[in-house]
């Protein structure tokens, strides 16, 4: 348990204003024929599924900054976000006595590009971090994925009119950002503690299913 409390969990996420908070599973083969089959494609409507990209992180029972992203994520945008928005967070943790921490990111291309990895090596040395080796195709082990579900659920519960917001794309995005910002900083310690406390159970379940999916 103490080991998992030392991990900074981080990721990017796209929040759609009309996304289904319940979610559902889709199983298909990894080929273009099934990927683009009509039953596997969600059609877009004008401003209907307008989305906001966010990046955030947390460690233990402490939330990190939430950042709203206007551009698509590539290695340059990712490094800029780490350098400008994330950089103060490890410093604040160190001032609070938290050291020898691990930084988790998934294996998205912007995260694992050669230039990004070189940047992360220097970034880790600066802050005394260890960059965690992350298994491919392992979202079941990323605690921040569960936090995204919480964020989306709270958006639906606290602001049920989000899916039907009217106005320009800019107006809708500003409203969405304001709501997500409030929900993020209202997340209580009990939510974060529960995620970390469940991590040993997550690991056992992932091992038990031998490469298949879990309920997380």
| Between 47 and 112, residue with greater pLDDT | 112
Helix (H, G, I), strand (E, B) or coil at 47: coil
pLDDT digits (tens, 9 = 90+) for 194-207: 999 999 998 898 88
Closest alpha carbon to 63 in 201, 216, 191, 200: 191
Query: How many CB atoms within 10 Å of residue 93?
Result: 20
| pLDDT level of residue 216 (50, 70, 90 thresholds) | low
Q: Which residues constitute the domain of residue 174?
A: 4-19+41-209
Query: Mean pLDDT throughout 52-65?
Result: 96
In a domain, 67, yes or no: yes
User: How much is the pLDDT for 45?
Assistant: 46
Structural domain includes residue 31 = no
d(CA 206, CA 124): 28
What pLDDT, on a 0 to 100 scale, did the predictor assign at position 18? Answer: 76
The dihedrals phi and psi of 127, each to the nearest 5 degrees, come to: -105, 5
- The pLDDT tens digits of the residues spanning 65-120 come to 999 998 789 999 999 999 999 999 999 999 999 999 999 999 999 999 999 999 99
CATH number at residue 132: 3.30.420.10
pLDDT tens for 1-24 read 889 999 999 999 999 887 665 666
pLDDT of residue 49: 55
Half-sphere exposure of 58 (CA within 13 A, CB side): 21
Would you say residue 32 lies in a domain? no
Q: Is residue 215 part of a domain?
A: no
Q: In this structure, is residue 154 part of a structural domain?
A: yes
Summarised one tens digit per residue, pLDDT across range 124-170 is 999 999 999 988 777 778 999 999 999 999 999 999 999 888 999 89
Token pair listed for 39: 């039953």
For residue 114, is it within any domain? Answer: yes
Token code pair at residue 114 = 């050669």
Residue 25: inside a domain, yes or no? Answer: no
Query: Apex CA 69: angle with CA 173 and CA 90, to 5°?
Result: 130
Q: What number is the average pLDDT over the span 36-65?
A: 80
d(CA 50, CA 11) in angstroms, rounded, equals: 20
Contact 93, 101 (CB under 8 A): yes
Q: Classify residue 52: in a domain, yes or no.
A: yes
């Amino acid at each position: 348990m103490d080991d998992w409390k030392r991990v900074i969990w981080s990721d990017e996420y796209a929040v759609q204003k009309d996304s289904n908070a319940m979610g559902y599973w889709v199983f298909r083969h990894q080929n273009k024929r099934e990927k683009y089959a009509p039953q596997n494609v969600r059609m877009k409507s004008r401003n209907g599924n307008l989305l906001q990209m966010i990046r955030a992180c947390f460690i233990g029972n402490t939330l990190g900054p939430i950042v709203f992203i206007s551009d698509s994520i590539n290695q340059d945008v990712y490094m800029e976000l780490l350098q400008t928005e994330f950089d103060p967070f490890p410093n604040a943790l160190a001032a609070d006595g938290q050291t020898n921490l691990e930084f988790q990111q998934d294996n998205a291309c912007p995260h694992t590009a050669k230039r990004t990895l070189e940047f992360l090596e220097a970034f880790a040395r600066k802050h005394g971090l260890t960059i965690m080796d992350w298994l491919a195709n392992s979202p079941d082990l990323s605690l921040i994925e569960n936090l995204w579900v919480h964020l989306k659920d709270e958006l639906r519960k606290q602001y049920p009119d989000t899916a039907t917001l009217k106005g320009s794309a800019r107006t809708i995005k500003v409203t969405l950002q304001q709501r997500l910002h409030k929900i993020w900083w209202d997340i209580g310690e009990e939510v974060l503690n529960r995620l970390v406390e469940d991590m040993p159970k997550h690991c056992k379940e992932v091992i038990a299913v031998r490469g298949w999916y879990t309920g997380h």
